[in-house]
Structure 1
Amino acid sequence: MILRRLLAAWFAVLINAAPLVPAQAQDNTKPAATVQRPAERPERFPIKAFAGSDAVRSAKLSPNGKRLAFTTMHKELLMLVVTDPMTRQSQFTFTFDGKQELKWFRWAGNDKVMMSLSHTTTIDMEEVRYTRLIVSNVVTGKTNYIGPAQMGIVGDDVLYVDPEGGHLLLALQRSIYEYPSVWTFPLDETARKAGREIQKPIPGAWDWYADDKGNIRMAFVYAPGSVKVLYRTKPEEKLRETIKMTSKDWEQKSWDVMRIFAGSNSGYVIERNLENRAVVASADYGTRTTGDTVFAQPGSDITDFDLDDDNKLKAVYYTDDADRIAWVDPKMKAIQNSLNRALPGSEAIIGSRAKDNSRMLVWQSHAGDPGTLYIYDLSTRRLEELARMRPDLDPRKLARPKAIDYKARDKVSIRAYLTLPVGREPKGLPLIVLPHGGPYWVRDKLQYDDEVQLLANRGYAVLQPNYRGSEGYGEGFAGLGEGQIGRAMQDDLDDGMDHLVKEGLVDAKRVCIVGSSYGGYAAAWGAIRNPERYRCAASFAGVMNWQRQVGYTNRFESDPKERRKWSRQVRGGEEGTFNVDLVSPAKQVGRLTRPLLLVHGTKDSRVPFSQFKEMREAAVKAGVPVEPVVLEGVGHSFESSKETEKWLTALDTFLAKHNPAD
């Protein structure tokens, strides 16, 4: 992206009740959706154009809307910057040392930014991923760790943050051998000394919940085969058991995204309805019962919701083929409609915003447009451009993905996204199968993707299947993925290829499979399992040994429910009996006969670098050549355009060699 100062020539419009047509941007480019796409092949864009620039990586407004925090790159290091959103005057900077990954950041009041850092270390000869919290005061410039010097693996389980930024509640283990307790910490330099335990640990209690005023109200206690809920109405009361379920029933009937109101047993939850779709429902936490469905989106799962100051539903978030916001608040609905008129032919998504809605960040994009970030000021009714994504790409010359459906071999319907190269006859094309990561709780969407657009620009058709187990299609579809890593989930990828071959769109002899994280695993495994299908495979940060990865993930995940769920999903069945070595590339690499590009970052704390090393060593031992690329200092995702460019360059070169489009 390019971060620009607010100049008079910038794109600016007044938001009002009348239909809006925005002024043209500085380069006089019309909205992509209104321009006739060229029939001829577009020029070959340089890889750097798809990697973007590093001016702004992500951005969030403070609660009062007077500060803008965003991440950027400076001298190849990630930096958090705080500015005045209207004048761009810098107020604070914090540079990360490059030894850890930034998981997330958020505002704590108007003067402080909290950040979660992820690290990988070795304990007792085993790799362990752990997290820690830091908080930066943007006024004093001081940054401090939050939490005691000695604590367990998970250090960012935040239960509540004081709206004024004075303190937070943090669930933590004092050691890996204890159950978590709840502590309160001031968000200043005294945090480590002034922290205070306000809820002692209870055997088996791994999950703690607070209400909207920061009172500890609920805990989930796990025992072999069962789960019970402890609850209290008032903070001075003792916790009492409200319900006890078998572990199986709990996983089917557990609530997600809970909001508990202080001084009341009422609140809202996301639960599954009779159609097995996630909906927002009213709830009584005292009896653990739900009342009326407050909001449902037919055909889609609700993923989150916002409440107003009166604890009434304000907005609901869901995904169909793209991320959506359904505004319940009439004022916000009117603003959304105005933005849609001001930015026609695209998705206008209101993201971070001030608590009083005085300022909002607005993201404009669609699947064939990298997009632009704007700030909307309610007092002046001005929508102004902050940053343009991928400024060296012309959206008029990019491909436009579309949604398709196909049947897997067992008749399960699979939703996928197909991108065809611009200016080429849709017949007998070379194909890249591009499975998403995860594999669970994740899905692909109809949105802009650098890899997709690079591949389409080079002349490839690209298929992104939401294989069984993907999020957003109901629990039944998600459940079909349990125990099917490397098996039916892999079949879904192959069946998508067969569908396109049958349609005549692609050439069955010119197919490669590419992916990152789980997608990187699926790519490597596809080349090993089905060499008759794939000419080559490229993997970034892929899992190569599932036995080790499950152990590594479980050492980080303290919640036994999540450990059991993850193990069952990977291994299959209640006892997890499937031998995952049978579908692990590092264990089956001797069968590899196709070219494999193997890329991994040394700083990866989610799929550790040891996965890459094991695969490379196993390949050498088996006498099987792979093409390894080590990305020094790179994590599980890319923090800079240079990191992205290295991966895309390696991929582009590899595909041109082993599956050329021309």
Structure 2
Amino acid sequence: MIKTLSGIACAGLLLAAAPAGAQALENPAEAFGQRPAVTSIALSPSGNRVVYLSAGSGEETYAYVADVGSTSPSLVTMTDGDPMEFNWCRFVNEERLVCSIYAMVQDPRQIYPITRLFAVNDDASDARTLGQRDNAFRNNRQFDGEIIDWLPEDDETVMMSRVYVPEAYRGATRIVDRREGLAAVRINTRTGSIDSVEPPERLNVRYLTDGHGTVRMRATGSIRGATGMAGSTTNYYYRLQGSDEWHDFGSYDGLENTGFYPIAVDRDLNAVYGFERLDGRDALYRITLNETLDRELVFAHPRVDVGRLARLGRRQRVIGVGYSEDESVVEYFDPEYQALHSALSSALPGNPNITFLGASDDESRLLVQASSDTEPGRFYVFDKAAGALNEILLARPQLEGVQLATVRPIRYPAADGTMIPGYLTLPPGGGETGLPAIVMPHGGPESRSVLRFDWLAQFYAHQGYAVLQPNFRGSYGYGDGWLVTNGFQSWETAVGDVNDGARWLVSEGIANADRLAAVGWSYGGYAALQSGVHEPGLFKAIVAIAPVTDLPALRQDSMAFSNGRNVSEYLGSGPHLVAGSPARHADRVAAPVLLFHGDQDINVDIGQSRRMHDRLGDAGNSSELIVYEGLDHGLRDSAVRAQMLERSDAFLREALGL
């Protein structure tokens, strides 16, 4: 479907309105649980083609290539999730792709992730791996690396950071590859031939290029003494323009969030963009890569953190900066894109959020996503010269024409008078008083809820629940003061804010006090369970997906990974570890509990849910644990998500007397 835009400054576009009338869903759990039809999408160098990933049944994911305007995409390849799963695919040229895949691997000691990069033609021919080759003499190579520069000037070549693992003893031969660490290489995606750009070094963790094939910055990690575990500090180095010599740039501490964190190098400005704290909030700075490292504040917000850069095209040109207060906003540096964003946002139905996802190499064609709280996502290709906006894909076609719930920002008072921000989703077309209600704390804990389509909240609202998503203290995005120590060390504050949200729903008449439930994923599941410990009886039902339940055990689990010491410091030490562990106080939980967990979860070990389930059983409390074999923290399986939604809805209805 092609619609025309007469000019950047025009008042609006005449696009087809959303279908009239609400479509009934035969199986709501299946419709909302289905993973998106577009999970990753990219535009070709000419802007005439797109490559996208689409979820199939279960864990299947398909990679398609399509000509813009065509109704017949071509299947390139697929993953079945056993064990490999797609991350993304991008164009090298009009016919050649690079894709990233990952898997969870289990050895006798632990489960760990691996990633691989490969190139393939759009007709599935001439597939080639891009990482270091495996052989019998090399220890397991966990990661391949990543693409750090798409080199638009080179037709078949990309620049990647490449992980090298040394070979072990080969017996009689002395020919042993002892290269170790992260290198930067140019690699021909057809032939596999490699040109070294930066040699591998064991402590290297990152490279930044200028988008034109020149490495301007690198980073090294820190090691904690003789433990061999990673430290929290990353040290950065830079090069002057036209020089090969490295100079000290500074360091960034990821645990303390101190120092400058580089994001993108701008060749034309000879500068690097990055984030650093200003008055307790993340702000965007630009530092010139000269002898004096001249610094300039680009953008800061007086109330919230600046959270992301808006970048465009294969060169990843910086065009703006984003932040989220009640709504997500991008401040564009480029006046053309500011004007285009305003025109599209005003003209498209429902005033959706507009995101520029990609561009042809000459930026004459743009890949655009339009979305909102009630619009899961529509994808367009915009032709600047023709003023044509071509709608190509829907993120969730199974929800097209379905009446979805609107989401509104709210504030409610905590016990100490602090106003807690959050989002309220009410059933579409239903009442607004005396409803069964769900408080749904987000994961992280240093994450946050934002105003957008949320498949979990939308499903429960569709089923008749009011859903409150609080950005409790401990959430990211509101500055250091809001983060407190973190949601684990300061659990009493974070969980108290969650519980105060439930009381607010009742005081406003939105919720029935006898029909309150808590539902959460990861830290959100932890907060839901700890709410049941902190104030037994407030919630009449608790659903926890992949939750943390025992903080000392979480700290011990983390020691199997290289960042274990960082996790240990993040959790801290002291009485809060036991007091903040719901599995150690399961006898206080009055509400029935439903737990879901994948048995290949490395974020939160399944032992956390098993421990909670066993302790609840020992205390004589109602508990059910559903384990999904072969799945990790995200439960990226459409059939599993549908089953989880259906079972949780039935559980809540029974527990709340609906």
**TM-score, structure 2 normalization:** 0.83
Q: Are residues 1:20 and 2:12 paired? A: yes
Deviation at 1:470, TM superposition (A): 1.5
Q: Match of 1:515, as an amino acid?
A: G
Match of 1:57 in 2: 39
Alpha-carbon offset, residue 400 of structure 1: 1.7
Which residue of structure 1 lines up, in the alignment, with residue 626 of structure 2? 629
Letter in 2 for 1:467: F
Is 2:429 the counterpart of 1:437? no
Aligned to 1:339: 344
Query: Is 1:134 equivalent to 2:118 in the alignment?
Result: yes
**Distance in structure 2 (CA, Å) of the matches to 1:470 and 1:128:** 27
Q: Quick one: structure 1 residues 377 and 398, their matched pair in 2 at CA, closer, same or farther if it must change by over 3 Å?
A: same
Q: Does the Cα contact within 8 Å between 1:152 and 1:175 map onto a contact in 2?
A: no
Q: Where does residue 66 of structure 2 map in the other structure? A: 83
Of 482, 493, 497, the match for 1:477: 482
Segments of 5+ residues of structure 2 without an aligned counterpart are 169-178, 225-230
- Kindly state the Cα deviation for residue 75 of structure 1 after the two structures are TM-superposed: 5.2
| Aligned equivalent of 2:298 | 294
Q: How does 1:294-443 map to 2 (within 5 A)?
A: 294-306=298-310, 314-355=319-360, 356-391=362-397, 393=399, 397-440=403-446, 442-443=447-448
Segment of structure 1 superposing worse, 255-264 or 414-423 = 255-264
Contact 2:514-2:540 at 8 Å conserved across structures: yes
Partner of 1:98: 81
Q: Provide the C-alpha distance between the structure 2 equivalents of 1:590 and 1:519, rounded to a whole number of angstroms.
A: 20
Match in the other structure for 1:201: 201
Cα deviation 1:460-488 (Å, max 9, x = unaligned): 22110011222221233224426436432
Deviations 1:500-540, CA, capped at 9 Å, x for gaps? 22333323222110011221222233334432211111122
**1:168 is paired with a residue of what secondary structure?**
strand
CA distance in 2, matches of 1:208, 1:240: 14
* Structure-1 separation of matches of 2:614 and 2:632: 21
The amino acid across from 1:233 in the alignment is L
**C-alpha RMSD over aligned residues:** 3.8
Distance 1:45 1:449 in 2: 18
What are the within-5 Å matches in structure 2 for residues 439-518 of structure 1? 439-440=445-446, 442-481=447-486, 483-484=488-489, 486-518=491-523
User: For each residue in 1:269-301, what CA deviation from the matched residue of structure 2 results, as whole angstroms up to 9, or x when unmatched?
Assistant: 22222x333332221345674522223344343
Q: What corresponds to 2:215 in structure 1?
A: 215
The alignment status of 1:168 with 2:159, answered yes or no, reads yes
Secondary structure of the 1:538 match is strand
Letter in 1 for 2:82: K
Structure 1 residue 130: deviation in Å? 3.5
Match of 1:119 in 2: 103
Give the distance between the partners of 1:591 and 1:101, measured in 2 at CA.
Answer: 41
Q: Which moves more between the two structures, 443-452 or 325-334?
A: 325-334
Aligned to 1:181: 182
CA displacement 1:544-566 (0-9 Å, x = unmatched): 3444444555655x5x6xx6554
Q: Pick closer, same or farther for the CA change 1:135–1:394 going to 2, 3 Å.
A: closer
* CA deviation map 1:414-455 (0-9, x unaligned): 211112334554333322010111221x21011122222222
Any idea what SS the aligned residue of 1:218 has? strand
1:96 shift after superposition: 1.0
- Greater shift, 223-232 or 115-124, is seen at 223-232
How far apart in 1 are the matches of 2:309 and 2:559? 29
Q: Conserved in 1, the CA contact under 8 Å of 2:407 and 2:424?
A: yes
Q: Calculate percent identity across the aligned residue pairs.
A: 27
Q: What are the within-5 Å matches in structure 2 for residues 567-582 of structure 1?
A: 567-569=568-570, 571-572=571-572, 576-577=573-574, 580-582=577-579
Distance across 1 between alignment mates of 2:311 and 2:594: 47
Aligned length: 628
Q: How does 1:210-249 map to 2 (within 5 A)?
A: 210-212=209-211, 213-215=213-215, 217-222=217-222, 228-233=235-240, 237-243=244-250
Distance 1:515 1:268 in 2: 35
User: Residues of 2 paired with 1:396 and 1:253: CA distance?
Assistant: 46
Relative distance call for 1:264 and 1:373 in structure 2 (3 A) is: closer
Contact 1:119/1:130, CA 8 A, preserved across alignment: yes
The one-letter amino acid of 1:12's match is K
Q: Does the C-alpha gap of structure 1 residues 201 and 46 become closer, same or farther in structure 2, counting only changes over 3 Å?
A: closer
2:407 is matched by which residue type in structure 1? Answer: P
Deviation at 1:78, TM superposition (A): 1.4
Q: Distance in 1 between matches of 2:50 and 2:635?
A: 22
Kindly tell me: are residues 109 and 321 of structure 1, through their superposed partners in 2, closer, same or farther at Cα, counting changes over 3 Å? farther
Inter-partner Cα distance in structure 1 for 2:477 and 2:35: 32
The one-letter amino acid of 1:82's match is V
Q: 1:279 aligns with which of 283, 289, 302?
A: 283
Structure 2 distance, partners of 1:175, 1:599, is 40
Contact 1:270–1:281, Cα closer than 8 Å, also in 2 = yes
Q: TM-score, normalised by structure 1?
A: 0.82
Which deviates further from its counterpart, 506-515 or 410-419? 410-419
Q: Is the 8 A contact 1:233 1:264 kept in 2?
A: no
Q: What is the alpha-carbon distance in structure 1 between the residues aligned to residue 190 and residue 390 of structure 2?
A: 37
Contact kept in structure 2, 1:208 and 1:220, CA below 8 Å:
no
